[in-house]
Chains A and B, each alone.
Chain A
Amino acid sequence: MPDPIKMTIISDPSNIGAVRTAVEAFGERNGFTREQSDQAGLAVNEALANVIKHAYDGNSNQFINITLDMVADNGRPGRALKIVIRDFGRHVDLECIKSRSLSEVRPGGLGVHIIKTVMDDVNYRCVPEGGMELTMLKYIVPTQEAGK
């Protein structure tokens, strides 16, 4: 297994693109197709944007930790890309973190839907010491389902 990559950025939207690029490169280097790596990058993009907008209310001087790792796929053959995003902002009500109905045409609220569509496993938790932690998995095998 490759060594994990750990990054810390400040919560400025201009930093999101660099993290996304790193995720895409990490995915491709570890056996994901270009499209799958792009999807992992998109999920991270959306997650970081949500942290900046909701956990930090747009403040651009707060810390966000990102960890990328390849892990054994629990109970399934193969490996998974594990992405952990940790913020130190306010707790967001877990009930509020859900995909909205796409039949409702309005701007906003698409980020969680995108994350859940392109990643295989998505888990949010409130950290007792403060902030939130998002853990996302994307499996490299078995054969990806359509659209993933």
Chain B
Amino acid sequence: MSIHDMTNETGPVQNIDLQTDQAVIKLLNDIDLYRSPDVRVVLLELTTQKVPVIGVDLTGVPYMDSSGLATLVEALQRVKKYNGKLVLFGLQHRVRSIFEIARLTDLFTIQQAFDHE
């Protein structure tokens, strides 16, 4: 199965823009225990390919729970192992507050819009 087969217009992974040195995945809908496994599959694949920079577009995510956070923490750990970078961007207020409750805002690179040099 190609990585693009892991996308779905209705989410949770709506789109994957995979280039030579970076990938941007666009998530959609709540990322919770129900949907985070689909996100995990994509992030595992991208980190297995050791994509140097992975951007996660959260603009379309109104809600995330600890299973979504755990999925991102796991991806961050895998990226760091090959000195890659994981960038989260477009966090809605509600999603940002969950990162704050879990005290994860300092752990991740969080941007308003994807801006990677």
Contacts and interface: CB of A to CB of B under 8 A. Distances in A.
Question: Do they bind each other?
Answer: yes
Interface string A42-53: 100110010011
B4 interface: no
A87 interface: no
A117 B103 CA distance: 11
A76 interface: no
Interface in B27-44: 30, 32-34
Interface stretch (B13-21, B48-56, B63-71, B82-90): B63-71
Give chain B's interface residue range (CB within 8 Å of chain A). 20 to 34
A142 interface: no
Mostly, the B contact residues are: helix
Interface string B95-110: 0011001110001000
Contacts of A49: 32-33, 65-67
Contact of A110 (B34, B70, B94): B70
Q: Is the interface of A mostly helix, strand, loop or mixed?
A: helix
Interface of A: 13-14, 16-17, 35, 38, 42, 45-46, 49, 52-53, 102, 105-108, 110-111, 113-114, 117-118, 147
Interface of B: 30, 32-34, 65-67, 69-71, 73-74, 77, 94, 97-98, 101-103, 107
18 contacts: A13-B32, A13-B33, A16-B34, A17-B30, A35-B97, A42-B101, A45-B65, A49-B32, A49-B65, A49-B67, A105-B73, A105-B107, A107-B74, A111-B65, A111-B66, A113-B102, A114-B102, A147-B101
